[in-house]
Amino acid sequence: MVEISAGKKRLLFGDGVNLRCLPAGEKRPEKHQLLLEFDDGSSVAATVQMYGLLYAFRAGANDDNPYYMIAREKPSPLSAEFTEAYFEGLLSGVKPAMSAKGFLATEQRIPGLGNGVLQDILFRAGIHPKNKVGGITSAGLGSLYRSVKETLAEMTLKGGRDTEKDLYGNPGGYGTVLSAKTWKNPCPVCGGVLVRQAYLGGNVYFCPNCQPQK
Protein backbone atom coordinates (compact mmCIF):
# COMPACT_ATOMS: atom_id res chain seq x y z
CA MET A 1 0.00 0.00 0.00
CA VAL A 2 1.04 3.58 -0.64
CA GLU A 3 -0.28 6.27 1.67
CA ILE A 4 -0.10 9.96 0.80
CA SER A 5 -0.66 12.73 3.34
CA ALA A 6 -2.69 15.67 2.09
CA GLY A 7 -3.09 17.98 5.08
CA LYS A 8 -5.25 16.10 7.58
CA LYS A 9 -6.53 13.77 4.88
CA ARG A 10 -4.96 10.58 3.67
CA LEU A 11 -5.05 8.90 0.29
CA LEU A 12 -4.35 5.19 0.25
CA PHE A 13 -3.65 3.10 -2.81
CA GLY A 14 -3.33 -0.66 -2.79
CA ASP A 15 -2.98 -3.59 -5.12
CA GLY A 16 -4.96 -3.32 -8.35
CA VAL A 17 -5.07 0.48 -8.66
CA ASN A 18 -3.32 1.83 -11.74
CA LEU A 19 -1.99 5.33 -11.22
CA ARG A 20 -0.98 7.55 -14.10
CA CYS A 21 0.50 11.02 -13.96
CA LEU A 22 -0.79 13.26 -16.76
CA PRO A 23 0.95 16.50 -17.73
CA ALA A 24 -1.07 19.70 -18.11
CA GLY A 25 -3.21 19.66 -21.23
CA GLU A 26 -3.13 15.89 -21.65
CA LYS A 27 -6.49 14.18 -22.09
CA ARG A 28 -7.82 12.50 -18.93
CA PRO A 29 -9.09 8.95 -19.20
CA GLU A 30 -12.88 9.00 -19.62
CA LYS A 31 -13.35 6.24 -17.07
CA HIS A 32 -11.53 6.55 -13.79
CA GLN A 33 -12.17 5.86 -10.13
CA LEU A 34 -10.29 8.93 -8.91
CA LEU A 35 -8.90 12.01 -10.60
CA LEU A 36 -6.61 14.39 -8.71
CA GLU A 37 -6.15 17.74 -10.41
CA PHE A 38 -3.33 20.08 -9.43
CA ASP A 39 -3.05 23.86 -9.70
CA ASP A 40 -0.50 23.60 -12.52
CA GLY A 41 -2.98 21.69 -14.70
CA SER A 42 -1.35 18.29 -14.27
CA SER A 43 -3.30 15.42 -12.80
CA VAL A 44 -3.10 11.90 -11.44
CA ALA A 45 -5.73 9.42 -12.63
CA ALA A 46 -6.48 6.22 -10.75
CA THR A 47 -8.18 3.38 -12.61
CA VAL A 48 -9.19 -0.08 -11.50
CA GLN A 49 -9.85 -2.99 -13.82
CA MET A 50 -10.82 -6.09 -11.82
CA TYR A 51 -10.48 -5.06 -8.22
CA GLY A 52 -8.50 -2.46 -6.35
CA LEU A 53 -8.07 -0.77 -3.02
CA LEU A 54 -8.47 2.99 -2.97
CA TYR A 55 -9.31 5.07 0.09
CA ALA A 56 -9.63 8.73 1.03
CA PHE A 57 -10.12 9.43 4.72
CA ARG A 58 -9.28 11.69 7.64
CA ALA A 59 -6.09 10.69 9.49
CA GLY A 60 -7.02 8.02 12.02
CA ALA A 61 -10.43 7.28 10.49
CA ASN A 62 -9.28 4.07 8.82
CA ASP A 63 -7.77 2.43 11.88
CA ASP A 64 -10.53 -0.17 12.09
CA ASN A 65 -9.57 -1.53 8.66
CA PRO A 66 -7.62 -4.74 9.25
CA TYR A 67 -5.77 -4.68 5.90
CA TYR A 68 -4.58 -1.14 6.51
CA MET A 69 -3.49 -1.84 10.07
CA ILE A 70 -1.62 -4.99 9.06
CA ALA A 71 0.22 -3.03 6.37
CA ARG A 72 1.13 -0.35 8.92
CA GLU A 73 2.11 -2.60 11.80
CA LYS A 74 3.75 -5.73 10.37
CA PRO A 75 7.39 -5.35 9.38
CA SER A 76 8.02 -4.91 5.69
CA PRO A 77 10.15 -7.70 4.20
CA LEU A 78 12.48 -4.90 3.07
CA SER A 79 13.11 -3.78 6.66
CA ALA A 80 15.82 -4.94 9.07
CA GLU A 81 13.11 -6.15 11.46
CA PHE A 82 12.15 -8.86 8.99
CA THR A 83 14.78 -11.28 10.27
CA GLU A 84 15.12 -15.00 9.68
CA ALA A 85 13.82 -15.60 13.22
CA TYR A 86 10.75 -13.46 12.46
CA PHE A 87 10.18 -15.42 9.24
CA GLU A 88 10.43 -18.72 11.12
CA GLY A 89 7.95 -17.37 13.66
CA LEU A 90 5.46 -16.67 10.87
CA LEU A 91 5.96 -20.19 9.62
CA SER A 92 5.38 -21.77 13.00
CA GLY A 93 1.98 -20.03 13.07
CA VAL A 94 0.60 -21.99 10.11
CA LYS A 95 -0.40 -25.62 9.63
CA PRO A 96 2.40 -27.82 8.21
CA ALA A 97 0.02 -28.91 5.43
CA MET A 98 -0.22 -25.36 4.11
CA SER A 99 1.40 -24.88 0.71
CA ALA A 100 4.32 -22.56 0.02
CA LYS A 101 2.05 -20.22 -1.94
CA GLY A 102 -0.59 -20.29 0.80
CA PHE A 103 2.01 -19.37 3.40
CA LEU A 104 3.74 -16.58 1.51
CA ALA A 105 0.97 -14.95 -0.47
CA THR A 106 -2.35 -15.28 1.38
CA GLU A 107 -3.90 -13.71 4.48
CA GLN A 108 -1.48 -10.75 4.48
CA ARG A 109 1.09 -12.61 6.54
CA ILE A 110 3.76 -10.63 4.71
CA PRO A 111 2.45 -7.21 3.66
CA GLY A 112 2.88 -6.58 -0.04
CA LEU A 113 3.82 -10.14 -0.93
CA GLY A 114 1.15 -11.21 -3.39
CA ASN A 115 0.86 -13.50 -6.36
CA GLY A 116 2.74 -11.15 -8.67
CA VAL A 117 6.06 -11.24 -6.85
CA LEU A 118 5.64 -14.79 -5.56
CA GLN A 119 6.71 -16.59 -8.72
CA ASP A 120 10.33 -15.44 -8.81
CA ILE A 121 10.68 -15.82 -5.03
CA LEU A 122 9.79 -19.52 -5.22
CA PHE A 123 11.81 -20.08 -8.38
CA ARG A 124 14.98 -18.66 -6.84
CA ALA A 125 14.44 -20.81 -3.74
CA GLY A 126 13.79 -23.91 -5.87
CA ILE A 127 10.44 -24.54 -4.17
CA HIS A 128 7.27 -25.70 -5.92
CA PRO A 129 4.25 -23.45 -5.11
CA LYS A 130 2.19 -26.45 -3.97
CA ASN A 131 4.81 -28.01 -1.68
CA LYS A 132 3.72 -28.22 1.94
CA VAL A 133 5.65 -25.91 4.23
CA GLY A 134 6.02 -28.72 6.78
CA GLY A 135 8.09 -30.68 4.27
CA ILE A 136 10.62 -27.94 3.47
CA THR A 137 14.07 -28.70 4.91
CA SER A 138 15.81 -26.18 7.15
CA ALA A 139 18.24 -25.42 4.31
CA GLY A 140 15.23 -24.87 2.06
CA LEU A 141 13.71 -22.47 4.58
CA GLY A 142 16.95 -20.51 4.75
CA SER A 143 17.03 -20.12 1.00
CA LEU A 144 13.33 -19.21 0.95
CA TYR A 145 13.95 -16.48 3.53
CA ARG A 146 16.89 -15.09 1.54
CA SER A 147 14.87 -15.26 -1.67
CA VAL A 148 12.00 -13.25 -0.11
CA LYS A 149 14.44 -10.55 1.02
CA GLU A 150 16.65 -10.46 -2.07
CA THR A 151 13.98 -10.80 -4.74
CA LEU A 152 11.80 -8.05 -3.25
CA ALA A 153 14.84 -5.79 -2.71
CA GLU A 154 15.91 -6.24 -6.33
CA MET A 155 12.40 -5.60 -7.64
CA THR A 156 12.20 -2.43 -5.55
CA LEU A 157 15.67 -1.22 -6.52
CA LYS A 158 14.91 -1.67 -10.23
CA GLY A 159 11.61 0.22 -10.10
CA GLY A 160 9.26 -2.77 -10.10
CA ARG A 161 8.61 -5.70 -12.39
CA ASP A 162 8.56 -5.39 -16.16
CA THR A 163 4.94 -6.62 -16.11
CA GLU A 164 3.82 -3.41 -14.35
CA LYS A 165 3.98 0.26 -15.30
CA ASP A 166 5.09 3.24 -13.26
CA LEU A 167 3.38 6.62 -12.83
CA TYR A 168 4.50 7.71 -16.30
CA GLY A 169 3.51 4.51 -18.09
CA ASN A 170 7.02 3.02 -18.30
CA PRO A 171 7.55 -0.65 -17.43
CA GLY A 172 9.63 -1.50 -14.37
CA GLY A 173 13.30 -2.41 -14.77
CA TYR A 174 13.14 -5.81 -13.06
CA GLY A 175 12.97 -8.49 -15.75
CA THR A 176 10.60 -11.18 -14.46
CA VAL A 177 11.94 -14.73 -14.65
CA LEU A 178 8.49 -16.30 -14.35
CA SER A 179 5.45 -14.32 -15.49
CA ALA A 180 2.81 -14.14 -18.19
CA LYS A 181 5.52 -12.51 -20.34
CA THR A 182 8.08 -15.28 -20.01
CA TRP A 183 6.45 -18.63 -19.30
CA LYS A 184 6.41 -19.76 -22.92
CA ASN A 185 10.21 -19.50 -23.05
CA PRO A 186 12.45 -22.33 -21.82
CA CYS A 187 13.54 -22.28 -18.17
CA PRO A 188 16.54 -19.90 -17.97
CA VAL A 189 18.36 -22.33 -15.67
CA CYS A 190 17.70 -25.85 -17.03
CA GLY A 191 16.14 -25.16 -20.43
CA GLY A 192 13.03 -27.19 -19.53
CA VAL A 193 9.40 -26.37 -20.20
CA LEU A 194 7.78 -23.92 -17.77
CA VAL A 195 4.26 -24.52 -16.46
CA ARG A 196 1.34 -22.19 -15.77
CA GLN A 197 -1.47 -23.37 -13.50
CA ALA A 198 -4.42 -21.73 -11.76
CA TYR A 199 -3.85 -22.16 -8.02
CA LEU A 200 -5.20 -20.37 -4.93
CA GLY A 201 -6.55 -17.33 -6.73
CA GLY A 202 -4.31 -16.50 -9.67
CA ASN A 203 -1.90 -18.33 -11.90
CA VAL A 204 1.31 -19.83 -10.60
CA TYR A 205 4.31 -20.26 -12.88
CA PHE A 206 7.07 -22.76 -12.16
CA CYS A 207 9.73 -25.04 -13.59
CA PRO A 208 8.88 -28.64 -12.61
CA ASN A 209 12.55 -29.54 -12.88
CA CYS A 210 14.10 -26.71 -10.83
CA GLN A 211 11.14 -26.66 -8.38
CA PRO A 212 10.26 -30.35 -7.92
CA GLN A 213 6.84 -31.12 -6.44
CA LYS A 214 7.12 -33.11 -3.21
Q: Which residues bind Zn ion (CB under 5 A)?
A: 187, 189-190, 192, 207, 209-210
For Zn ion, the closer of residues 69 and 189 by Cβ is 189
Exposed e or buried b per residue across 21-44, where buried means at least 16 C-beta atoms within 10 angstroms of its C-beta: ebeeeeeeeeeeebebeeeeeebb
Nearer to Zn ion, 34 or 195 (CB): 195
For residues 25 and 90, give the distance between their C-alpha atoms in angstroms, rounded to a whole number. Answer: 49
Rank residues 71 and 177 by Cβ distance to Zn ion and give the closer one. 177
CA distance 91 to 94: 6
CB of 104 to Zn ion, least distance (A): 20
Question: In the bound complex, what is the minimum distance in angstroms from residue 18's beta carbon to Zn ion?
Answer: 32
CB-based contacts of 161, cutoff 8 Å, min separation 6: 116, 117, 155, 172, 174, 176, 179
Sequence length of the chain is: 214
Task: Name the residue with the smallest CB distance to Zn ion.
Answer: 187
Of 43 and 131, the one with the shorter C-beta distance to Zn ion is 131
Q: How far is the CB of 70 from Zn ion (least distance, A)?
A: 34
Enumerate the β-bridge partners of residue 4.
Answer: 11
Least gap, CB of 144 to Zn ion (angstroms) = 17
